[in-house]
Structures are given as C-alpha cells and as structure tokens.
Structure 1
Amino acid sequence: MELCVTKSNGKLVAPSGPTLSTMLDLSRIDRLPGLRFNAQTLHVFEPIGPHGAAWPIIREALSNALVLYYPLAGRLSPDGSCIDCTSDGVWFVEATATCTLHSVGYFKDVAMISFDDLLPSHPLENQGINPFVLMQITEFDEGGFVMGLIFSHTICDGLGAAQFLTAVSECARGVDPLTVTPSWHRNFIPPSSTTIPPPHFTPPDYHLEQATIDIPLDQITQLKHKLMEESLQQCSTFELIAAILWMNRTRAIKSGSESKTKTMRLVFFADCPSLVSPPLPKGFYGNCFFPVTVTASNETLAQAPIIEVVRMTQGAKARLPEEFSDWIKEEIGQSTNEDPFAPQLGYETLFITDWRRLGFEQIDYGSGPAVHVVPTQGSAVIPSAIIGSVPRPDKGVRLMTWCVENHHLQPFLQSIPTILLPH
C-alpha cells in the first residue's frame, strides 16, 4: 500500500522544569571533525494504550527527560568546543499516515521504506534553529507508530542516544526516579596538544548498492559450533559475521581487471568506557569509542578459511587497550601523521558497526519494545555495514549493507554461504 504521510510544521520541546544555564566542555572525542554528522534511525512500535495516542505521551515524556538531559536541549558553541545550555529544546514533529502498519508489513522490508516521509523535517534556515535532536512521531491507522530520530553524533554515541531514549520511555511509563542518572563527565581524556590534518578524500564516481541479509540465530549457532569443533577456536557472533562479510566482499570484488593485489581494510568501532581510568560513571552518555583497523591483502582474504579471518579480527581487538592508551597519550599516529579516527577511505576500506548491544531494541514507551529498529545510511561512497537484529518475533542477525557497486552486488551475495542468503 502506498504510504501517505502528513506532517506538522514542527516545534521545539523544551525541558518541563528549570535547568542550569551554563557552558559545558565537550570531550576530545566529541570534538572530532568526523563526528559532525547526524545519525538517523526509525523505530517501529505497536500502539500505546487503547487509543494508540503516542504524540502527547512521548512529547510530555521528552520534555520531562530533558530536565536531567538539559545539554541535549542546548546548542553547539560557534567554535564547536562546548555546549551552550540554553534549554531551547529539541525539535518535535507530529505526523499521520493514511494506512495501517500491518498493511506496510511493519516496514520489515527495508526496500519499501520512504525515509523522507518518516524522518523529521529540519527547521527552516530562517528560523535559526540547529537542535541536537529531531524527532518525528508518525501515527498509523488502527494504532502503532514510527519514531523517526535524527541525533547529533557530536553530543552522544549510540549507547548515549539509547540511554537518553530509555529515560524518555521511563518518563512515558511513569518511572520515578529514572533508572540511570545522567552524568556529563567529558573531561576523561586530556585535550590534544597537536592537530593531525584529515586525509584528503576525493569522492569516487561509483555508487554503492544497498542489500539486506538476514541470518537466523540457529544457523549462526551451528556455524560457531562447527568452527569450534574444527579449530578449538571460540568466537563471538560479531567476529564471525564480520569475518564472513569482509572475506566474501573481497572475493566478490577480486575478479578480472580488479585482480591486482591490494591492501584491504576492515574498520569497526569498539566501545571503550571500560578502558578509561578512573572508570566512567554509569550515567555517562558521551562518545567513548575507538576505531579498530584490520588489514590483509585481497589475495589472503580470498583464500583464507573463515577461522583465520576471525583470528585477524580477534588479534586487532586484543591490541585495542594498548592502541587506545597510546592515542590518549598522543603516542599513536605521530610518526606516520595518521589519525586512527580518520582511516583511509575508498573501496578497499569496509566499515562495520554493531548495533545489537546499544539498547534501542529494549526501549518501551508503554506498548512493549520496538518491532524493529532501522538505521539509515547517509553515504553512497563509503563501504559500510550495520549489524542489527531481525524484526520481532524472529531471532537472528540482520545485516544492512552499502558496500559494493552494482556490478559486484550479485557476486557478493552469491559468494556468501547459504546461511547468509539475502532477505
């Protein structure tokens, strides 16, 4: 069924009570130029209550949560180093759809999603508003709603965004006090004394194709057991999926005129709160992660068994504490003038992000957790993949990928073992 959405003009939702008016410094990671972008997600929910009226419930809960999370209602300073806690608010858009969620399959088929309809429209430029958070609640006939969220990565990583949304959901359900008290605590890393220029990146002329791949949980478990029996090597689901994806993508693009030996890179982002000393407080909601880079030649990846690629990933993870410490002490990147937070871009570099442990899928505004959470991708030229969960009630992993050109898409999908056939 065709989706037709009508949106309100949008308005600011401010904290419901008094908040501090102050300037708060951002951390060294928050200030990274590479984080000056917005993350966009869709969260699909069953109806709230007998009438399914989500707007007033979530709008009020949002306002109440902002009393404690007041920095999110502020604005970025002109030099990008701190937050001006103005309490102006976050942007909120109300919308209605002329169909039921059932008629669109609860958007389990990502290819049919009209993201522009379900994501909030930005304030007009002449309004002079640039909020950190923008939210749209789209109500559907017969109940159910989709939350479209745009979140500035400068102020929160995925864990931090999920912590804030959990606070909103607890306010919606009347939980008092909140389970977690937020903590700013952005001074956990000393400011940098040097500046490494970002690498030059010339946008390529290719366009990456989207592909969704569902992997049932029982098949993942069977493969992990098989690898354990053959090699006595244990691995996590992430390590297994990352290895298969990286290996089979490399095999797909290593053909014909592209058979020249090249260095392939896998980059994934590891959460680092446990590596900070002293430990970060429980309520910390800023950016605290580090990019882990694995390299191998396309020849090696094309011929290696899965377990060997898993070991490459595990070896890179084992080096994380030392590399993170060296970066804090500014002992990494100085000799080569390279910034680990700005890895070399191009078709040979694949970025993988794991969303399964962020907490989005456990958030409950009163009708149970989301049917599923859908990330959106802003770039068609940076190869990437997001590891999430298949929509409820099924169990397993859903891969959303933007990692190959059109002429590599079918070889990529066909090279993946039977357990990873596309959805």
Structure 2
Amino acid sequence: MQPQFPLQILSKKFIKPATPTPQNSKLKISSLDQYELPIYVPYLFCYPLNDKTKNSERSKQLQTSLSQILTLFYPLAGRYIEDKLLIDCNDYGVEYVEAEIASHIAPILEKFFDSKHVHHLIPHQYESPTSPLVAVQCNMFECGGIAVGLCISHRIVDGFVYSKFIDAWSTSCKLGFDKVENKPSFDLGFLLPAREAMPEIKHVFPNLPDLKIASAKFVFDNLSISNLRSMLDKGDSSSRVKLVAALIWKALIRTAETKHGKLRPSVMTLLINMRGRTTKALPISEDSCGNFTRPVMVKFKPEKKRNKVEFHDLVSLIFYAIANAVKDSAKPQNGDEIFLMVDRAWSEAAEECNREEVESYFFTSTCRMPFYPDFGWGKPVRVIRVQSFPEEIILLMDTKDGDGVEAWISLDENDMPIFQQDPDIVAFTSQVEQLDDDHSILLRSRC
C-alpha cells in the first residue's frame, strides 16, 4: 500500500543504553510472557509545530533521553532468544528511524485515521532472533509537526509497562533523567518461572479469515459519563471505564439482536492488571515489568420473562465479575498457581466465546495510564493505536483532558452502521468519527 504522505527515510540507527549493561546479563521471561502472541504493539503520538524547537533538535532530544531511559529498561535494548526463553541483555539497542514527510500534519491532528492511513508512520517489527524489542520512528513533517511511532514487543511488555516506559522516557526528555521516579523491576521471570511444557494457547477471537473490519472512534466526555452515572442507583461508584464498557456492550447486544432477530447470549472479555493484588507469598510490585494481566469473562443471558437488556444490569455484571477476578488473584501462593489461574481464565473465556449461539467481544483499556507523553512540547494532540491485523476489538483510553473516554471500536463492517445508530450511542457520544468505503470522514455531534 502506498503511503498517503510522501515519506523519505533519512536515517536508521540503534540507540543503546547510556551506561553499558554488565556483560552476560540474561533475563528469563515468565510463564505469562510465554502465553503472549509474538506481536508488537504500535502507537502513534502526534504533536503540532513547536515554535521554540526545530524537529531536528526534537529528534536529538528523543534519542538522548531514550538512551538514558534504556539504562533502567535495559532488557528492552536486548534480543529475545526463543529456544532459551530469555532476553539476552546485550545492548544491541533499540531501532530508531528518522523520516521526513513532505506534507502538513494537520489532517492527522484534525481527523481520525485508521491503519490504512498511518501504517507507514510506524516502524513495524516481527519477532526473530535479530529483531529489536523496541522500534521508534520519528516522523518530521515539513510544517514543523512531528509524529512519534512506537512499537514494543508484547513478549515482555503489557499495556501497564508500555505506559511506564513512555512516561519515564518523556519525563527524562522534558525534565532530565534525574527526575525519573519510575524504577522498573524485572523479577517476574523469577517469581513465575517459564514452563517447559505449555498448554495450547486459547483465543477469544473467533477465526474469521474473511472478516472485513470497519473502525470508528466514539468519544464519551465528562458530561456523558456523569449522565450515565445518574442512571444508576445513588451511591453507585462505578468507574467511568465500567460505565462506558457497559453502554458499549449494551449497544453491541442490541446490534446482534437487530442482526439475528432475537436477543442472544453475549460475552465480553476484558483484561485487568494483577499488580498489587497478589498475596504476601507472591509479592508482585507495581513496578514489575512483563506481562501480568488476566482476562475477566462477563456473561449476559437473556431472560424469558424480561426479553431486554438493561444498562444497570450490565454495569452490575461487570462490577461483580471484576471483583471476583481480583479476589481470585489474591489466592495463588506461587507462580505456578498464578499461571494455572490465568490459563484457566483464558480457557473458560475461549470456550464460551466460541459457542455458535454466543456473541463475543474483547475489551481492553489503557485508562488512567500515562498515554499522553509530554516530551517538553506539550501533550500530543492525538494518540492513535494502530491496528496491525483485522480483529473485532474495543479499546478504551483517556481523552486528552483525562476526564472522558475515547472508545476505538473495530467491528464487522456490516455491524458498524447498526451499532452507530443505536440510540444510546447517539445520545451519549459527543463525537463519532468513522471511515466510509472511500476513506472519507463522517462527523456527528451530540443529538
């Protein structure tokens, strides 16, 4: 696919830690790292013109601070050795690409673009013995705007660690390395040792090779979330993520009802962070780097006596499912028990999600995580999670002001128009941006 913007690669290099890592340093991955797919997670952080600093200088600042941060996140400068289940912390470095874009950044800042439009602004990687675990592409636009593409291997990084890395990097760039308070630890491989025999990995995504995806962004502002909360009983303190997830799930259930002519059972699967929720026998710190999440399955079953879906019921289902998962996370006494708990949760979710009469949806959230990094030029105007392969998924993230929720939703292209017209989506979203077949943008304000 040809890039939408004229792009020229100016340079490629490897950024190494400012202080060398001791020779022969190895880091064993954990059993939960083994469970992850060999993919990279791509984000694009978009900044407008900065009158005080030229793009070439901004790129130098990024490189210097990245080198400093890699002294803390030193395994990310190494290479993954699959047959030994370890990271060789050899300081081979993080790939850094400088690219020049002969156009204005305004279209990206003003409108929603899916992977088809910004795919070339991301330094895509594929897991191999020589692949870096992190890759950065600094896209410098002729107008003075800049877009930083970042890919990190999911092999040893989940969303929580991804945000910690971005936050530490931006703090070092803006304020100096001595101001970085985040001191990551890499003890998960010791507490949850890798397993010689892994069970078959279960997937909650149905195998639909011919699936055609439509993507849209729905924004729930602070007023919308307050109105959602007012629909619940007084004293209900459900978080904005639970409220938004419940409303989206309700609209998805009704979309399936419209499509099939009847209300069908539905399952949503979402991820929770287990850090700080384990026993004293298994002290996983908030700073532990690696994959340490577990799935939570939430089931909706239509009732014959009441053949409809209620918002407050879905909020309660989500609340109690998460509460029970958090309680379960505190039971394991060792790494093997943690792994078996997570494996069992994935297996149960996969079994339920792959039933023919069940509609299933996968939710993930980065809310309350620092995904708007300020490198010294202000927060990005737009943060884009670039979809690397076709899948139905709902990604929730903070709005720039931190008070609202952006919902990035990818669905079967036949389902998206029905979902978009759902009365709750119309009533509670302050903005919808969707790509039509010609890749133009449709905007709708609150009705």
Report the TM-score when normalising by structure 2: 0.82
Alpha-carbon spacing, 1:35–1:244, altered in 2? closer, same or farther (3 Å): same
Deviation at 1:157, TM superposition (A): 1.0
1:348 aligned to 2:359?
A: yes
2:250 aligned to 247, 251, 255, which one? 247
Long gaps (5+) in structure 2: 434-447
Contact 2:368 2:398 in 1 (8 A): no
For the pair 1:117 / 2:127, whether they are aligned, the reply is no
**Alpha-carbon distance in 1 for matches of 2:127, 2:274:** 37
Conserved? CA contact 2:65–2:177, under 8 Å: no
Read off the aligned partner of 2:392 and give its amino acid letter.
P
Gaps (5+ residues) in structure 1?
none
After superposing on structure 2, the runs of 4+ consecutive aligned residues of structure 1 that deviate more than 6 Å are 299-302
Contact kept in structure 2, 1:72 and 1:132, CA below 8 Å:
yes
| Equivalent position to 2:212, from 191, 207, 214 | 207
Task: Name the count of aligned residue pairs.
Answer: 411
- Asked if structure 2 preserves the Cα contact closer than 8 Å seen for 1:244 and 1:416, the reply is no
Range moving further from structure 2, 68-77 or 178-187: 178-187
Aligned counterpart, 2:442: none
For residues 107 and 254 of structure 1, the distance between their equivalents in structure 2, rounded to whole angstroms, comes to 35
Q: Is the 8 A contact 2:43 2:149 kept in 1?
A: yes
Q: Whole-Å Cα distance in 2 between the matches of residues 43 and 181 of structure 1? A: 23
Cα distance in 2 between the residues matched to 1:148 and 1:394: 22
Any residues of structure 2 matched to 1:114-263 within 5 Å, and which?
Answer: 114-122=117-125, 129-173=130-174, 174-176=176-178, 178-186=180-188, 187-189=190-192, 195-199=198-202, 202-229=207-234, 232-255=235-258, 258-259=260-261, 262-263=264-265
Partner residue, 1:372: 382
Q: Are the structure 2 counterparts of residues 35 and 110 from structure 1 closer, same or farther at C-alpha, using a change threshold of 3 Å?
A: same
> How far, CA to CA, are the matches of 1:160 and 1:124 in structure 2?
19
Displacement of 1:92 in angstroms is 0.8
Match of 1:396 in 2: 404
**Matched residue, 1:307:** 312
- Code of the residue aligned with 1:67 in structure 2: it is T
Contact 1:110 1:212 in 2 (8 A): no
* Displacement of 1:179: 1.3
- Secondary structure (helix, strand or coil) at the match of 1:16 reads coil
Could you give the per-residue CA deviations for residues 320-349 of structure 1, whole angstroms, max 9, x where no partner exists? 134334583566589x89635866655822
Deviates more, 1:170-179 or 1:287-296: 170-179
Shift of 1:260: 6.2
1:15 deviates by: 1.6
Partner of 2:422: 415
Deviations 1:262-291 (A, max 9, x none): 532101100111112344334322221111
1:272 matches 2:263: no
* Bigger Cα displacement from structure 2, 242-251 vs 136-145: 136-145
CA distance 1:395–1:272, shift in 2 (3 Å) = closer
SS at match of 1:270: strand
CA distance in 1, matches of 2:26, 2:350: 28
SS of equivalent to 2:384: strand
The 8 Å contact of residues 40 and 154 in structure 2, kept in 1 or not, is answered as: yes
1:97 Cα shift?
1.6
**Corresponding residue for 1:383?**
392
Judge conservation of contact 2:69–2:177 (CA < 8 Å) in 1. no
What does the per-residue CA deviation read over 1:12-32, in whole Å, with 9 as the maximum and x for residues that have no partner? Answer: 111222212311111121111
Cα 1:159–1:332 shift into 2, 3 Å: closer
1-structure distance, mates of 2:307, 2:58: 50
Q: Residue type of the partner of 2:247? A: I
Distance 2:45 2:165 in 1: 14
Structure 1 residues 11-30: aligned runs within 5 Å: 11-21=13-23, 22-30=25-33
Instruction: After TM superposition, give the deviation of residue 204 of structure 1 in Å.
Output: 4.3
The separation in 1 between residues aligned to 2:239 and 2:183, in whole angstroms, is: 31
Q: Partners of 2:90 and 2:121 in 1: how far apart? A: 28
* Secondary structure of residue in 2 paired with 1:94: strand
AA aligned opposite 1:378: S
CA distance in 2, matches of 1:217, 1:113: 30
Secondary structure, aligned partner of 1:253:
helix
Aligned equivalents of 2:125, 2:291: Cα separation in 1: 24
- Work out the CA distance in 2 between the residues paired with 1:348 and 1:225: 28
Residue aligned with 2:178, SS: coil
Amino acid at match of 1:406: E
CA RMSD, Structure 1 to Structure 2 (Å)? 3.1
Once the two structures are overlaid, the 10-residue window that deviates more, 347-356 or 103-112, is: 103-112
Which segment drifts farther, 238-247 or 135-144? 135-144
Provide the rounded CA distance (Å) in 2 between the counterparts of 1:158 and 1:337.
19
CA distance, structure 1, for counterparts of residue 288 and residue 5 of structure 2: 39
Cα offset, 1:227, TM superposition:
1.9
Instruction: For residue 370 of structure 1, report the CA deviation from its aligned partner.
Output: 1.8
Structural mapping, 1:291-302, within 5 Å: 291-297=295-301
Shift of 1:183: 1.2
Task: Tell me what 1:99 maps to.
Answer: 103
